[in-house]
């Protein structure tokens, strides 16, 4: 099987506008509110995590009020859709996608290009983007305890942008790479 690479916008030229609010470790989630995304596992892991500095902000369409009611907390906020990803993405140092299934997730590619350290479920094409302990953390599907363990390991000291992740995006997923991969697929 071959993974079809999606190109995505490069956010590497975006710089942080402000620092983490109230000394929180801010984690960006770009996920629509649908059954495909595993907010149940995310919510449970945040509840059992002993790291009180974490705050996950989810931007995505869907029934925001229902998801706030079911999964929302002081550690998990549902903020609805935003047209200004370029303004939002620069205010985070971590990106997360906890999902039941994926193809090649554009949201992770965008977060990778901005240098965010990644935390994601090991489903579909996610392992094409993340090498665990190198570019981020791969979490087994529905593994609440492993995700909580990852949250517990996050510190303000590691709250920095990853130049390696920006470089990896340029090497693997830039529009130029996408075009050359597409041509190679066509030759096969």
Looking at residue 85, what is its pLDDT? 84
Give the pLDDT confidence score for residue 153 in this predicted structure. Answer: 92
Q: Judging by beta carbons within 10 Å of its beta carbon (0-12, 13-18, 19+), is residue 51 exposed, middle or buried?
A: middle
CA distance 104 to 81: 21
Mean pLDDT, consecutive 10-residue segments, the chain of 188 residues?
Answer: 46 46 82 96 98 95 97 97 86 93 89 88 90 85 98 73 57 60 54
In a 13 Å sphere around the CA of 180, the CA atoms on its Cβ side amount to 7
Instruction: Determine the distance from the C-alpha atom of residue 23 to the mean position of all C-alpha atoms in its chain, rounded to a whole number.
Output: 20
Q: How confident is the model at residue 86, as a pLDDT? A: 82
Which pLDDT value is given to residue 183?
Answer: 56
The pLDDT score that the predictor gives to residue 3 is 45
Token pair 């859709």 is at which residue? 81
Report helix, strand or coil for 8: coil
pTM: 0.78
Q: Which residues contact 43 (CB under 8 A, 6 or more apart)?
A: 70, 71, 73, 76
pLDDT of residue 50: 96
111 C-beta neighbours (distance < 10 Å), count:
31
Say which residue the tokens 């801010």 belong to. Answer: 26
């Amino acid at each position: 099987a071959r993974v079809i690479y999606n190109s995505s916008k490069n956010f590497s030229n975006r710089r942080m506008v402000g620092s983490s609010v109230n000394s929180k470790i801010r984690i960006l989630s770009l996920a629509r509110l649908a059954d495909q995304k595993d907010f149940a596992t995310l919510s449970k892991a945040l509840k059992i995590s002993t790291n009180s500095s974490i705050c996950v902000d989810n931007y995505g369409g869907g029934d925001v009020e229902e998801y706030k009611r079911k999964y929302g907390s002081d550690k998990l906020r549902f903020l609805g859709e935003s047209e200004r990803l370029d303004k939002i993405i620069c205010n985070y140092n971590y990106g997360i996608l906890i999902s039941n299934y994926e193809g090649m997730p554009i949201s992770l590619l965008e977060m990778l290009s901005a240098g965010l350290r990644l935390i994601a479920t090991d489903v579909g094409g996610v392992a094409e983007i993340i090498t665990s302990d190198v570019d981020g953390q791969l979490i087994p599907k529905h593994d609440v305890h492993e995700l909580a363990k990852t949250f517990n390991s996050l510190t303000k000291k590691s709250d920095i942008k990853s130049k390696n992740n920006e470089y990896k995006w340029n090497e693997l997923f830039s529009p130029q790479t996408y075009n050359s991969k597409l041509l190679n697929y066509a030759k096969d």
